[in-house]
Amino acid sequence: MFRFGVDFKDKVNRPFLLVKDQFFSIFKKKTLTMNRWYCGLLFFLLLPLSSNAQEVYSLYFAAKAHPETTQLTGFESKYYANYELVGEGELDLRVAAGNELVVDETGVYIQKNKVLSISREEVRENSKYLVRGGYLHGVVENDSVMVALADEKYFFLMPTKSYLFETGAITNQLYKGASPNEFFILNSEDNGYQSIISIRFSGNQVILLDLDYEQTTFDFRTVTGKKMVTNDGIPTYILSPTKKEWQTLMKYFVAYDTYQRKIS
């Protein structure tokens, strides 16, 4: 049996990204820091419970649920910095594509490069755009981006931000964690419920964590304050933990990404 926790990690954006080898080989000639390209994502979470069945469900927290610790409005300035993703195996591809975690006065967000394209015809017919010396002008104000031509399209990277916590936003909440330098982030989802992640600062590193579905010690669905609804045939459990249950839940977070402070 397998338990499949869906929906939970789309928010935090931890994809394995895929791109055409043709585009990779073209762009590789233009930059030594890019080893592979990514566009698209595939993620799933499996927990083996037995060998002959599979259980599928979603897990969220109720709209008013919170970890019974002090709520914060933002991170202290001592944490402000840019952090590079620590690569391991397939994660090295994400490092090469550009994947940083930034903590500043606006909150904490993942900054990475998104692959975009514009047709050669559009560049030729629109005076707003100009390609010169392998760089495209006109898509970024007062700047240019490196491009690669393939299939009559210019491909380029555009930096994007994906907030884990945004200061002042009504769709997320920040709370102190169970230990110093640990925090919990609750994000409101489109279905009206909340997802949760943890962020931990340790020396020059930032560690992102989420609920550990692989452990078999504690079944999250045993939380007393819960309800179950069905969405497209998939059971969805909405948790409203007590203070004591929150203390238990805090023990079952596991790291999924580690970032190292960049040296200026």
Report the amino acid identity of residue 168: G
Beta carbons within 8 Å of 230's beta carbon, 6+ residues apart: 236
Q: Residue 112's pLDDT is what?
A: 84
Identify the pLDDT of residue 242: 95
Q: What is the mean pLDDT of residues 106-124?
A: 91
| pLDDT of 54 higher than 60 | no
Do the strands 182-188 and 172-176 form a parallel or antiparallel pair, or are they unpaired? antiparallel
Tell me: the pLDDT tens digits for 213-229?
Answer: 888 999 999 999 999 99
Distance CA 260, CA 258 (A): 7
Judging by DSSP bridges, how do beta strands 182-188 and 194-202 pair with one another?
antiparallel
178-183: which pairs have CB atoms within 8 A and are 24 or more residues apart?
178/69, 178/247, 178/250, 178/251, 183/72, 183/75
**Going by C-beta distance under 8 Å and a sequence separation of 6 or more, which residues neighbour residue 164?**
12, 107, 108, 109, 110, 172, 185, 187, 197, 199, 208
Is 38 exposed, middle or buried (CB count within 10 Å of its CB: 0-12, 13-18, 19+)?
buried
**Does 239 or 140 have the greater pLDDT score?**
239
pTM value is 0.70
Q: Cα separation of 51 and 53, whole Å?
A: 6
Reported confidence tier of residue 232, pLDDT bands at 50, 70, 90: confident
Domain spans in the chain, listed from the N-terminal domain onward:
2-261
